[in-house]
Every structure is written in C-alpha cells, then in structure tokens.
Structure 1
Amino acid sequence: MSCHLKKEETQQVTSDKINNVSIIIDDQLWDGEIGDTLRNKFASPVLGLPQEEPLFTINQYPLKLLEGYMTNSRNIMVIKKESKSKFSHQINEYAQPQNVFHISGNSVKEIIDTIEKNSNIIIGKLKKTEINEIQNRNKNNVLRTKKIANKFHITLEIPKNFSIVRRKAKFMWFKNEILGGSISIVIYELPFKNFTQNEVIRIRDSIGSLYIHGNEMGTEMKTEDSYSPYSTWIQMAHKRAYETRGTWIMKNDFMSGPFLNYCILDQKNKRIMVLEGFCYAPSKPKRDLMLELEAIIKTIQFKK
C-alpha cells in the first residue's frame, strides 16, 4: 500500500454528505463479482443499530466521469483493470479534504483480492475522515461552558444546539432536539476498577434508573437485552477505552434507539470517565446521527 499527500495547492473544497463514497468503476465490473465485493465490504450493516443501515452510502459512476464534477467528492475509490495489481491512497488529489483510493489488477480475481486485503484500512481511513469532517463543521459553534471542565476536568466540544437537561454531582446530560426526535450525550465518572461488558451494562442501567426517564412516571432507560451489544477496546485521548454499541429501551414506554458508550480508563485520577451518546429518532435513519455523537465524544481532552 502507498499513501501520498498531494503537494500542490488544491482549488476545490469537498462538499459531500457524511458517509458517502463515490466509486469510479465501469458498469461491466460493477455489475459483476467486483461490485458484489464492494457492496459486501462497504455497504454492510452498521453494528449496533436497531434497523439495518449501510456502513457507507456508495454511489457508482463510470470512469469517464472521473475527469469532471466527480472529483470534488470527499471519498473516492477508482477501480480498473490494468496490467499490474496496485493499491494506493492519495490524500487531497483533486480537492480537500479528500481520500482517493486507486485499486487495479489484470483480472477480476486480482482486483477482488486487493479490495479484500485492504478493506479494513480503507474503512478506517474513511471513518476517520468523516469524524474529522463533523468535528471541523462543529468547531466554530461549540458551547463555551466551564461546567464540564469544573466538574470533570475535561474539555469536550459540544455544539451550541445542545442544552443541559439534567445535572447532578457526577452526572451531566446534554440534549439536542431534532426534527422527529432527539440526540443526547451523557457524562459521568466512576471509581477506577476492572470491568467487563456485563459490568458496563449494569452500570449504564443503574444510571438510566437514577437519571434518564421518559415523560411518564415509572419509566427509565435500560439496555435492550434481546440484542447482544458489541464491545471492543480502543485508544481514545491517549488512554485505553472500552467501546460498547447497542440498543436502549425506555422501561414501561415504547421509546428505543441505539447507544454508543465509552468507558475511558483515567488511571492518573483513579477513575473511569464515561461518555455515552444515544438517539431517539423512530422515523429517521440513525447511522449519521450516531456518527455525529461519536465525533463529539471523541473531541474529549483530559486537563493536565
């Protein structure tokens, strides 16, 4: 694999919707095994959503459109038959910010092998670019509040369209009312200790019981136990963090939606810093809403 940054100044600024990928490939290849491989890798269902949504929205265009208006897409994959098998990643090749992935081979099998070998790399770079794009869009429109810093000794770039709906000694809940629902971020801290996925679920259910309720008496947020959450260890703000994705329900109510929970190990301060995003949008797609929450949460910085 090669990765190159375009040195000369680019004139265009990319303007795609979030999570969109333009695939430049001739119709004959797109309609066969190569197209099937691309759809299986890049339009597979997102983990942790209650309804099936694709990882990326992929749009196919023939090669002749590469020279022209398609070059202002933020994420481009160029796939063609050539004498040599090749994979390269160009940064800001036609516009900025931009990923352009070039994949070629002298047979269908070679091209498919190259796609499969590099698909995880491509997905990682696409997701990082989209998170950065959301963070950049939000950057000049964030809450200037000292409440988070004073309470938790962290900074977090939460957009101004969020407001505080509940605040306790070690808990804060921010909500953004959107058309057809809402998206929320909650912040709390726990004493430092080892934990498992079951412990994460137990903790978030206890927090839901204490602080996150519906409009009716006797309602409280809990984890949907019909679907097993997805968990993994990641690095976040230079610390180890346990990421959990799953579905929440409102006990004694009909509300439900996806959640994204991060338990960050802050050994210096002997605590676990927990940030969670969840959304309620019953009639809307939720993939991009959850990525927005992930992008906000990943602006966290720990004060020294």
Structure 2
Amino acid sequence: MLVVIKGNDWEGKVGDELRTVFGEHQVGLPQPETILSVTQVDPTGFASFMRNSKSILVLEKGAKESFSIKENKYSKPQVVMFITAKDEAGFIKVIQQKSKEIIKTFQALDIKKMQRHFAKNKLDDSKYKTTKNLGLSLTIPKIFKTVDDTGEFLWLRQHLKSGIARGDGSNNILIYALPLEDEATVAENITKMRDAIGEKYIPGSDEGMYMITEQAYAPFTFDAEIDGKKAYETRGKWEVKNDFMAGPFINYTIVDKKNNRLIVFEGFTYAPSVNKRDFIFELEAIGKSLKIK
C-alpha cells in the first residue's frame, strides 16, 4: 500500500496511527509479518510511475472529515482511497473508523490480481479424480505437481527450491470433503478434522509421524464466504508429530448444504528460515477461487 501524506504528518501522530493500524501482524505465521506492506510518499513526489501503484491511500487537508474510494483513477487495476480532514484528530478518527474497510478492500484487490496471474497458466483441474468426483473447480497454477489423488483426497505440491524460499521448501494444497453432521459445531471441530486427515494422508519420515495442528499454538478461525457459501477461514501452524518440521497453514471449510457435506481446501507452507506471508497469500488466492459446480 502506498500512503500519500506529508512528511511531517507521517513522522507525527497521524503516521503513528497509520503504522499501528496497517502494521498489524498477520495471524498464523511463525515470524511477525504485517498484513500489508506500507510505503510513504510526500504529495510533491506523487507523480508519474508512483501513480501506477495498485493500492493507494491519499491523506489531504480539507474543511471536513470524509472518506471516498475511486477505482482505476490513474491505472488499471487500481483502488485509490482518499481521507480528508482539517487536523490530526480528524485524520486519526477517520483512519480508526475505516481501517478494516481499507485493509479488506486492498486485500481483495491483491487476491484478484493474483488470481488473474494464475489464470494465465492454470492447471486443468478436471484431470484430477478428486476435483471431478467432488464437482469442484479452482484456479491453480501449473507449477503445482500431484502428490496424491485418491478420488476423495487431493494433495498438490509446489517445490520452492529457489527464489525467496532459499531452500528445499514447498507450498502444498489439500482438497477433500467430509459429511455435514452438525452445522453448529463445524468451527469448533476444524482442528480435530484436519488432524484426522493428517494422520490418514500426510505421513512423516518415520512410523508414528504425521501432520497435526501445532499443539502449543491455538489457531484462529474467522467467518468467511467461498463461492457464495458460508465458510470458515482458519489460520494457524502445523507440525509433524514426533518430528521438527512445522509451518503455517490456511484452511477454508465450506458448508455445502445442498450436498450435505463440508468441502475443505487447505494450503500449508514449509519454508524454513524465511518469511512466509507471501506464500500463504498465494494459497489464499487459490482457495478463494474454489467453485462448486
């Protein structure tokens, strides 16, 4: 996110509030990483290529407090948000009132951009027995390779042997379905369900080792919506039981009432010693592309 604000305001109380709000850490990651990456520019320097940024927040002095959003003002795709106020207190008030909307809007823009990028070179998901049997489609880039496809459980993996991963890491996708038994208890049973799947399908290097939800770190679950259906988004950390492998995961558990089932998409990352926000973000974009046919 590019913040257009005068330097003295950025160094003062308004800048402190912006850094507090938009410097919030993303939950479920092993290392502290902010939800958004923020860059500041003075209005005098906001010209030419700077205006091509896709997510822009402009703070400017005005007679009254206001907040507005304009799409594709300087380039496409782009969202530009304007906060107007007459003084520090006014700016801080609007920032606090609109912070959640600002974050949600900019994140949605990033997701759509990533999905368009993946769509240019996507896998043919109809070739997988599991997605075919479950009646699902997703936008998954071709860099993912099949680990397991039973017809009931799909595991795809992207190796991260170069670039920012700097090691033999991987991004992983899991897709499966479970019976919908009691809708009221879905959220509280997500950890139990994913641990059962880990024991059944995701073994470690030796007997008795398999993927589980990290026991020392309680995951966070939020209400979500996938393909117009009620869903739960869970972020947390996984580990291999009786081993030292671990990393972050994002899980979407979708309530498919029509077919009396839960559709589960999970992405998890193994990338030791490097930041993992961007890897989980890519998995989030794939998960949010899921459609039930």
Select the residue among 212, 215, 220 that pairs with 2:202.
212
The residue that corresponds to 1:9 in the other structure is none
Q: Shift of residue 196 of structure 1?
A: 4.0
Select the residue among 18, 35, 52 that pairs with 1:55.
35
Q: Which runs of 5+ in 1 are unaligned?
A: 1-20
The residue that corresponds to 2:164 in the other structure is none
Q: Distance in 2 between matches of 1:125 and 1:261?
A: 21
Instruction: Report 1:27-106 matches (<5 A).
Output: 27-106=7-86
* Residues matched between the structures, number: 283
Deviation per CA, 1:209-256: give whole Å up to 9, x if none: 111123334321000121111112222101111111111011122111
Q: Shift of residue 90 of structure 1?
A: 1.0
The residue that corresponds to 2:170 in the other structure is 182
Contact 2:239 2:246 in 1 (8 A): yes
Are 1:152 and 2:98 matched, yes or no? no
Q: Distance in 1 between matches of 2:145 and 2:205?
A: 18
Give the TM-score normalised by structure 1: 0.90
The residue that corresponds to 2:286 in the other structure is 296
Q: Shift of residue 262 of structure 1?
A: 1.1
Q: Distance in 2 between matches of 1:44 and 1:171?
A: 35
Q: Distance in 2 between matches of 1:177 and 1:199?
A: 30
Are 1:23 and 2:3 matched, yes or no? yes
Q: Shift of residue 60 of structure 1?
A: 0.8
Q: Distance in 2 between matches of 1:50 and 1:243?
A: 18
Q: Which runs of 5+ in 2 are unaligned?
A: 162-166
The residue that corresponds to 2:223 in the other structure is 233
Which letter maps to 2:64? K
Which letter maps to 2:3? I
The residue that corresponds to 1:167 in the other structure is 149
Which letter maps to 1:189? A
Q: Distance in 2 between matches of 1:240 and 1:165?
A: 29
Which structure has more helix as a fraction of its residues? 2
The residue that corresponds to 1:193 in the other structure is 181
SS at match of 2:94: helix
Deviation per CA, 1:89-135: give whole Å up to 9, x if none: 11011001011111121110001101111111111100100000100
Instruction: Report 1:246-257 matches (<5 A).
Output: 246-257=236-247
Deviation per CA, 1:141-197: give whole Å up to 9, x if none: 111132244221111111100011012241110110013210001001111122244
Which letter maps to 2:236? G
Contact 2:125 2:138 in 1 (8 A): no
What is the CA RMSD across the aligned residues, in angstroms? Answer: 1.2
SS at match of 1:161: coil
Q: Distance in 2 between matches of 1:113 and 1:243?
A: 30
Give the TM-score normalised by structure 2: 0.93
The residue that corresponds to 1:129 in the other structure is 109
Instruction: Report 1:260-279 matches (<5 A).
Output: 260-279=250-269
Q: Shift of residue 84 of structure 1?
A: 2.4
Which letter maps to 1:97? P
